[in-house]
Amino acid sequence: MSGASTSLKCQTDWVRVDALRDEDIDLSDSPEITPEMFSRAVVRRGRKPVSSQEKLILYLDTDVLAWLRAQGDGYQKRINDILRAYKEAHQQA
């Protein structure tokens, strides 16, 4: 190591960024957000963080588990989010 200190000061030119117009921003390497992406989104706004969790064995139908896993990483968290939303919807009723 060189022993040189690393600056913690932000080097972003915020004046230039603030002056950018929407047309000036290059989005060519950003994928377009599709309706399918929105349909898989999980909205967590206003939810309190879960303070603790318990480990358990849960038996799911093979096709249900395959579908959840096909949605990508974090399928176990998604299962918890789905169950939490169901619980909250039925508590309000």
pLDDT tens figures, 55-81: 889 999 999 999 999 998 889 999 999
Q: Which pLDDT score, from 0 to 100, does residue 42 have? A: 75
Asked whether residue 80 is assigned to any structural domain, the reply reads yes
Asked whether residue 35 is assigned to any structural domain, the reply reads no
Asked whether residue 17 is assigned to any structural domain, the reply reads no
* Structure tokens that stand for 62 in this block: 């093979």
C-alpha span between 10 and 87 (Å, rounded): 44
Asked whether residue 92 is assigned to any structural domain, the reply reads yes
Note down the domain range covering 86.
53-93
Q: Which pLDDT score, from 0 to 100, does residue 6 have? A: 63
pLDDT at 83 over 90: yes
Asked whether residue 66 is assigned to any structural domain, the reply reads yes
Quote the number of domains for the chain: 1
Question: What mean pLDDT is reported for the chain?
Answer: 84
Q: Which pLDDT score, from 0 to 100, does residue 63 have? A: 96
Q: What is the mean pLDDT of residues 8-19?
A: 87
Query: What is the widest separation between alpha-carbon atoms in the chain?
Result: 64
Asked whether residue 85 is assigned to any structural domain, the reply reads yes
